[in-house]
């Protein structure tokens, strides 16, 4: 009985030790770099945007949303931050916020990533059960980029869901 107790204590100590010895990752150094830029220039919208992208990759969604909001607060024309924030809202399944950002992003037809935004909007429609709108947006995305696999996949899911209604 005493051996099990000692083993349990040693395991717990090892776990605490290992968790305290985490090695900084590349993304941690990127965050530190952007944080330093922001300290020097608190109005640097690009630095907030870039740090938000790193937080998004790390799945630190709340911090990513905060940074994209700050980027947009400093530069309301920064469409990329709007798109990225919409992608975070999609991960958080906050459909109305994601839809609002995607629609604002798509209001500017000149942006080069509109086929990706169309597919993201289609995905939101799919998740909300609006299959016809999802298929419509996928068709528009595939017209812009016929080989864009996410649009093809989302369209297939929407068609299947519509058929099963």
Domain ranges, ordered by start, for the chain: 26-107, 112-165
**If you average pLDDT over every residue of the chain, what do you get?**
88
Give the per-residue pLDDT at 36.
97
Q: How far is CA 107 from CA 39, 79, 89, 110, in A?
A: 33, 10, 18, 9
Distance of alpha carbon 44 from alpha carbon 37, whole angstroms? 8
Q: Do domains 26-107 and 112-165 have the same CATH topology?
A: yes
37 within 8 A of 25, measured Cβ to Cβ = no
Q: Give the mean model confidence (pLDDT) for residues 49-74.
A: 98
Q: 26-107 architecture in CATH?
A: Alpha Horseshoe (1.25)
Distance of alpha carbon 87 from alpha carbon 10, whole angstroms? 43
78-116 pLDDT per residue, tens: 999 999 999 999 999 999 999 999 999 999 877 656 899
pTM above 0.85, yes or no: no
**Full DSSP string of 74-106:** H-TT-HHHHHHHHHHHHHTT-HHHHHHHHHHHH
Domain 112-165 in this protein, CATH class? mainly alpha
């Amino acid at each position: 009985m005493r051996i099990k107790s000692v083993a349990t204590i040693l395991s717990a100590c090892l776990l605490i030790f290992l968790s305290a010895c985490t090695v900084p990752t590349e993304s941690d150094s990127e965050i530190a770099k952007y944080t330093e830029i922001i300290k020097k220039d608190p109005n640097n919208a690009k630095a907030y945007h870039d740090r938000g992208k790193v937080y998004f990759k790390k799945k630190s969604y709340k911090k990513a949303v905060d940074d994209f909001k700050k980027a947009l607060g400093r530069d309301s024309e920064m469409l990329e931050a709007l798109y990225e924030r919409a992608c975070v809202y999609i991960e958080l399944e906050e459909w109305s916020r994601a839809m609002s950002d995607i629609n604002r992003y798509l209001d500017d037809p000149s942006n080069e990533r509109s086929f990706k935004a169309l597919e993201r909007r289609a995905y939101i429609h799919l998740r909300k059960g609006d299959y016809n709108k999802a298929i419509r947006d996928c068709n528009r995305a595939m017209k812009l980029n016929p080989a864009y696999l996410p649009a093809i996949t989302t369209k297939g899911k929407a068609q299947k869901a519509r058929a099963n209604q």
